[in-house]
Amino acid sequence: MAGHLLKSGYSLIVYSRTKGKATELLESGAIWAETPRKVAEKANVIFTMVGYPADVEEVYLGEEGLVSNARAGSYFIDMTTSAPSLSVKIYNEAKKKGIHSIDAPVSGGDVGAKEASLSIMVGAEEEAYDAVLPLLKLLGTNIVYQGMPGAGQHTKMCNQIAIASNMIGVCEAIIYAEEAGLDPESVLKSITTGAAGSWSLSNLAPRMLKGNFEPGFYIKHFIKDMNIALAEAERMDMPVPGLALAKSLYDQLAAMGEENSGTHALYKYWKK
């Protein structure tokens, strides 16, 4: 994603906890920063994508974080899937310093990131959204303004809830085909274009059949997302039995040592 910005002619300052992960960007002309603070001091638009809400809070609100060190008029764009309440908290703290804060979680996995075809769900003041839209268009093809800060994260929770139950259906369909003695790849030709079609069925089921469980999205991060959605649903007094079931299955997979596999490794639940 950072590479798309760089290739579009923008000067890029990068920070990662593991510098080696930025090697390709640095070789292509990006400038290395030793800390998030160093990024904040130099950049006027700052994208973040980290692991967990605790990481988001540290990067933005820590003593050496972005809010304390960025310049007035800067734009924060957090693309981590995080807690809606934290996005609102960051927005409020940033606003005190004249900084625009935007939550813009994404969907589309590693394929969408590489092809700049992500779905981007945006929570922000509308003026801030309009200002950064040209940059978001370099990263995604389905960019939707959802409302004020926190709305992007709530929308991502809707996305994750839909994926959670859908992934169970995808895995059970493939296992059923195998148990019935069918050719699963032939079955996919029939069902991916019908009413059962979904992104997961088209893109992840073939990986399952090839035994490729490399992460487009880590199970451990999906569990984090489901925990956020479950907490938000509880706050709204809303039952989510499908989500709760999916979470329990993924918890079992994580206990089996699969936390660093891709979400489609749920297939292994039936193979254990």
Q: Could you tell me the CA-to-CA distances from 82 to 54, 75, 78, 192, 248 in Å, in that order?
A: 9, 18, 9, 31, 20
- Identify the CA nearest to 69 among candidates 50, 87, 46, 51: 46
Task: Name 267's Cβ contacts closer than 8 Å, sequence gap at least 6.
Answer: 171, 174, 175, 208, 213
- Catalytic site residue from 156, 220, 268, 271: 156
Q: Is 206 helix (H, G, I), strand (E, B) or coil?
A: helix
CA distance 138 to 10: 11
Catalytic annotation present for 268: no
Q: How many CA atoms lie within 13 A of 209 on its CB side?
A: 20
Question: Which residues belong to the active site?
Answer: 156
